[in-house]
């Protein structure tokens, strides 16, 4: 027979576990989080009821739920991947269209950069969240910065011409614009993927 104390302990455990699942889902799901929240609440109440009757059954149920949730999470991730792939196709098509006409050099440049970034990101298996985090890495930890200036990592710099501000670098000599990821790739000789991983 389960004592009330034990019951509370295990009920809390179930609750914590569901809260964790909810956290993971929250990230993976976006808009659907709301629906999921209600579903999880229902699950939780059901589990609580079942638990009071028979503990092993509840544990079996939890195992089942973990499996279902993992599959669901994978589905959400693959749906996101598909969206990114679609985005890439649209950008590539736009770039192809623009390459045949004059003007809008700015847009072409931006698109080329975006297409490159998305392609790299798709082939590397790293997430947007990892890239965002990597971009926040302090440049000062990668190169020596003195009063906002550093020796440019992208050309043979004798006097510091690489200006560092707001997490980005710009070279007044070679005009290179660089994020912490670009700098990390340059100074450490890392690939895009390894740089992002390193900066996380």
Binding site for Zn ion (CB under 5 A): 152, 154-155, 171, 173-174
* Least CB distance to Zn ion at residue 172 (A): 8
Our CB check for Zn ion shows the closer of 17 and 149 to be 149
* Least CB distance to Zn ion at residue 124 (A): 26
Per the CB < 8 A criterion, the answer to whether 39 and 26 are in contact is no
* Least CB distance to Zn ion at residue 143 (A): 12
**162 phi and psi, to 5 degrees?**
-95, 110
The token pair that represents 179 in the structure block: 């994020």
Our CB check for Zn ion shows the closer of 111 and 183 to be 183
Q: How far apart are CA 190 and CA 198, in angstroms?
A: 9
Per the CB < 8 A criterion, the answer to whether 180 and 139 are in contact is yes
3-state class (DSSP) for residue 33:
helix
Q: What are 146's strand-pairing partners?
A: 149
Angle at 92 between CA 127 and CA 122, to 5 degrees: 20
Our CB check for Zn ion shows the closer of 145 and 152 to be 152
Our CB check for Zn ion shows the closer of 26 and 167 to be 167
């Amino acid at each position: 027979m389960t004592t009330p104390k034990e019951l509370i302990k295990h009920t809390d455990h179930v609750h914590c576990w569901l809260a964790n699942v909810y956290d993971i889902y929250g990230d993976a799901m976006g808009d659907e989080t709301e629906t999921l929240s209600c579903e999880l609440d229902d699950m939780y109440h059901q589990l609580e009821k079942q638990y009071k009757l028979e503990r092993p059954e509840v544990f079996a149920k939890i195992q089942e739920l973990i499996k279902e949730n993992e599959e669901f999470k994978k589905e959400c991730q693959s749906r996101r991947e598909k969206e990114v792939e679609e985005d890439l196709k649209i950008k590539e098509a736009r770039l192809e269209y623009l390459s045949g006409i004059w003007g809008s050099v700015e847009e072409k440049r931006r698109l080329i950069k975006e297409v490159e970034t998305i392609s790299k990101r798709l082939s590397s298996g790293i997430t947007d969240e990892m890239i965002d985090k990597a971009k926040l890495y302090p440049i000062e930890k990668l190169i020596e910065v003195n009063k906002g200036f550093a020796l440019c990592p992208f050309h043979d710099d004798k006097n510091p011409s690489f200006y560092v501000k707001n997490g980005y670098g710009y070279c007044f000599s070679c005009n290179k614009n660089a994020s912490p990821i670009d700098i990390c790739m340059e100074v450490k000789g890392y690939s895009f993927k390894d740089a992002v991983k390193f900066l996380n």
